[in-house]
Amino acid sequence: MPVGITPAADMVIAPDPRHDTRNPGIDLLRGLAIVLVVFNHLGLRIPLKQTALADVLPAWFLSRLNYNGYEAVFVFFVISGFLIAGNALRRWGGLERIDMRTFYARRFARIVPCLLALVGLLSVLHLLAVPDYTISRPGQSLPGAIWSAIGLHLNWYEGRTGYLPGNWDVLWSLSIEEVFYIGFPLVCLLTRRRWVLVPLLALLALSMPWTHAALSGNEIWQEKAYLPGMSAIAIGVLGALLAARAATLAPRTVRLLGWLGAIGLTAATIDGAVMWQQLRDGYMLLLALSALCLLLACEQRQRRGPWQAWHGLDWLRSWGRLSYEVYLSHMFVVFAVVRLFKLAGGDMRLGFLWYLLTLPLCWLLGAMVERWLSAPCERWLRARLSGARDKSRVLTTSVAD
């Protein structure tokens, strides 16, 4: 199932001491989500249930490892709304006081350099007729793909014409997020009052099951339509508003929130088929609310001061910090590894070994993109678009700030 994520892009000018470092729990959640994305795209080509792992692990469990990419995107959507709205509240003191110029400048600086680089590279590969990168479906064209990516309607384009090649396809969630964030500051400034904004966000958030069900006639469009994804982002925004007004909770309550979120996410990802039978289109709403519980627990933990837990999972948090760069670039690694797998004989029994090659290569490529493209371009653009140089990296989400 195709998936996608985008980055966060707002930070605090004068950070509260409680928020002067990254939240390791949120980075861990984002890292888990991006690893599931990579597993999804590799699993479509080298399914784990067909490897020797099926001799020791249940096939249903291996399938869930491979096919939770779509759910991971909705987790990113919730994180995106939570961090972007939270950063806006700390930066400006209220959503009704958002500075539109600064907000849009920061998003442009974060999003556009990698997006343009990817679209440019994919266009060259298409013109060279490189396998796995050539647009060939009826009704699709290179100009159409370019315009849909830059114009933030690639999800709609695929809904009408079918899936684009993998590296193009990953941009569908960027269309959803950035359309939301184009309108977000406008709505905040127009409503002006929290008692007006909150019901609008709640209505959008709770509409997810119905908007998802209403699109059942087109499988691709149902997966990638604007409203269900925006509903998940709205849940994150509501969570940020709640976190800003809530008192510091007792440790026992924070642990309860964490366990509720962890159980909900585990049930939705590991036992998704059963959950779907019970909840149908409400299944994704449960997933989003579970992610929100974890985010609220992480935010409450951060209030007690900077923390660094589970050192053995530092590698996974590093994936979370690089999630945007890894997401945009990982299909280059996936396609290359699958080609090598086939050239080596395509022994499906040993297919799981190719995951051990794919994961570090995806991380390495994402780190290179971050170091030599996204970070320097972001600093340069922010200094010129917002009128002040930011020397700190932004607090990022995935699926955006």
Domain segments of the chain as ranges: 17-385
Rounded-to-integer distance, Cα 243 and Cα 257, Å: 13
For residue 15, the model assigns a pLDDT of 34
Q: How far apart are CA 170 and CA 81, in angstroms?
A: 19
The model carries a pTM of 0.90
End-to-end Cα spacing for the chain:
25
CA atoms of 366 and 324, how far apart (whole Å): 8
Q: Taking the CA of residue 206 as centre, how many other CA atoms within 13 Å lie in the half-sphere pointing to its CB?
A: 6
Sign of CA dihedral 70, 76, 78, 81: negative
> Residue 281 and residue 211: Cα distance in Å, rounded?
9
Give the pLDDT confidence score for residue 19 in this predicted structure.
Answer: 37
Q: Is 99 helix (H, G, I), strand (E, B) or coil?
A: coil
Number of helices (H) and strands (E), helices first, in the chain? Answer: 19, 0
69 vs 269: CA distance, rounded Å: 10
Q: Give the span between the Cα atoms of 313 and 42, in whole angstroms.
A: 22
Only one residue has tokens 């945007």, namely 324
For CA atoms 262, 266, 269, 275, give the dihedral sign.
Answer: negative
pLDDT in tens, the chain (401 residues): 445 554 443 333 333 333 335 899 999 999 999 999 999 999 999 999 999 999 999 998 999 899 988 889 999 999 999 999 999 999 999 999 999 999 999 999 999 999 999 999 999 999 999 999 999 999 999 999 999 999 999 999 999 999 999 999 999 999 999 999 999 999 999 998 999 999 999 999 999 988 888 887 788 998 899 999 999 999 999 999 999 988 888 889 999 999 999 999 988 887 665 565 556 678 889 999 999 999 999 999 888 877 766 788 899 999 999 999 999 999 999 999 999 999 999 999 999 999 999 999 999 999 999 999 999 999 999 988 865 444 444 444 434 44
What's the distance, CA 206 to chain centroid?
A: 20
Maximal CA-CA distance, the chain: 63
For position 30, what pLDDT does the model report? Answer: 95
